[in-house]
Amino acid sequence: MINKIDHLGIAVASLEEAGRVYRDMGFAYCGNEAVTEQGVNVSFFEVGESHIELLEPLGEDSPIAKFLAKRGPGIHHICVEVDDIDEALTRYREAGVTLINKQPVLGAGGCRVAFVHPKSTFGVLLELKEKAR
């Protein structure tokens, strides 16, 4: 059901600045995208079969703006790829896991994603991403 770590999300104040640093460190850049539904601009860098996702807030009320104000830049979430996100959410609900998204929402690349509350995952915001069909 859970295939792999799809990406690690890192909150940054500036994609331009952070992107340059990651490129300088040898990470292969693979694209940029505004995900307005989530209030973020994102850049992806390839790491084997996984990615690093840099997240920059699109505005003041972006969840990333709040995260940066509270904690500064750093790891924001871990994303795992699942085969069937509806099945995963049903299973998690039945297990009493606290979900931020009870239904899948639109994430980067048009994928269906849902976030699990850190209080159910020992302090780590977990993103589920459905495998592209």
Applying CB under 5 A, the residues found at the interface with Zn ion are 9, 53, 79, 127
CB closer to Zn ion out of 92 and 94: 92
What span, in angstroms and rounded, lies between the C-alpha atoms of 129 and 58?
Answer: 21
CB of 53 to Zn ion, least distance (A): 5
| Residue 114, amino acid | A
CB of 77 to Zn ion, least distance (A): 6
CB closer to Zn ion out of 96 and 107: 107
CB of 73 to Zn ion, least distance (A): 15
Q: How many CA atoms lie within 13 A of 58 on its CB side?
A: 12
Structure tokens at 71: 């904690």
CB of 99 to Zn ion, least distance (A): 16
CB closer to Zn ion out of 92 and 114: 114
CB closer to Zn ion out of 94 and 123: 123
Report the residue closest to Zn ion, judged by CB. Answer: 9
List Cβ neighbours of 43 (8 Å cut-off, separation of 6 or more): 15, 18, 19, 22, 29, 31, 32, 53, 54
Cβ neighbour number for residue 32 with a 10 Å cutoff: 13
